[in-house]
């Protein structure tokens, strides 16, 4: 099993739709969880950290489920500009941050 | 100033060349990283410097040689690379070692390297 797994997509959704991604992790000792966004040929940029109680930032909501070892990202009212690859990042073995393979989102008119 | 600056943005080199990638940050961050990213793949960690000391080397071939001259600078020296080393090389920094302290990573825009 990979340390951090994501559905690569692509998720093709119409503008205004709600879309959710999940990310599973294998190391039950993981403590840090993040969602990064990466546009084509650009560097990853932090979208949001994921806290145990869940957190929201505008149209974006992140949740952590420690029992099932997954984190989720919900995007409401999708915009064209949300089209990107969303990378899940988790503290892995050896106290390193491990990136998931990313989920590609395409928001269409 | 919240930038991580990488130079050059693009680099083409032959397999016998020696070149260096440079990374600079002035945010006072004490952890710096090199990642390698191939197309449609996630970034893969290569090296971590923590307080100017190499703390993680992910079994990277010796043709890649990192150097941290001071807390603001990180270099990656390249020698005798192979075509399969062609990738986007990303530098990142964090206030303290990210995995230990829940710190986020700040990435530079990367160097797109092509090895002929």
pLDDT score, position B2: 58
Comparing A109 with B96, the larger pLDDT belongs to A109
CA atoms within 13 A on the CB side of B99: 21
Shortest alpha-carbon distance between residue A43 and chain B (Å): 5
Residues of A in CB contact (< 8 Å) with B are 31-32, 34, 36, 41-46, 49, 87, 89, 91-92, 94-102
- Report how far residue B77's alpha carbon sits from residue B89's, in angstroms, rounded to the nearest whole number: 12
* Cβ partners under 8 Å of residue A32, min gap 6: A49, A89, A90, A91, A97, B98, B99, B102
One-character DSSP codes across B24-48: EE-S--SEEEEEEE-TTS--EEEEE
Q: What is the per-residue pLDDT across B8-55, written as a single tens digit (0 to 9) for each?
A: 999 999 999 999 999 999 999 999 999 999 998 999 999 999 999 999
Q: So what's the pLDDT on residue B97?
A: 82
Percentage, residues of chain B above pLDDT 90: 86
Which pLDDT score is estimated for B71? 92
List CB contacts (< 8 A) between B42 and chain A.
87, 99-102
């Amino acid at each position: 099993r990979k340390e951090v797994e994501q559905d690569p997509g692509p998720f093709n959704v119409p503008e205004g739709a709600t879309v959710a991604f999940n990310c599973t992790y294998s190391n039950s000792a993981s403590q840090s969880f993040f969602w990064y966004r990466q546009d084509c040929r650009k560097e990853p940029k932090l979208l949001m950290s994921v806290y145990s109680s869940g957190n929201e930032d505008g149209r974006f909501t992140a949740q952590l489920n420690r029992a099932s070892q997954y984190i989720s990202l919900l995007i409401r009212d999708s915009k064209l500009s949300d089209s990107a690859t969303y990378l899940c990042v988790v503290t892995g073995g050896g106290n390193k941050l491990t990136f998931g393979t990313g989920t590609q989102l395409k928001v269409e008119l | 100033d919240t930038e991580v600056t990488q130079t050059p943005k693009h680099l083409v080199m032959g397999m016998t060349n020696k070149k260096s990638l440079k990374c600079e940050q002035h945010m006072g961050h004490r952890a710096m990283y090199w990642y390698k990213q191939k197309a449609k793949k996630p970034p893969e960690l290569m090296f971590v410097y923590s307080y100017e000391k190499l703390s993680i080397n992910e079994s990277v071939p010796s043709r890649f040689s990192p150097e941290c001259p001071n807390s603001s600078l990180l270099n990656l020296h390249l020698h005798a690379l192979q075509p399969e080393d062609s990738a986007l090389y990303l530098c990142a920094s964090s206030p303290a070692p990210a995995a230990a302290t829940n710190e986020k990573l700040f990435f530079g825009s990367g160097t797109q390297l092509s090895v002929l």
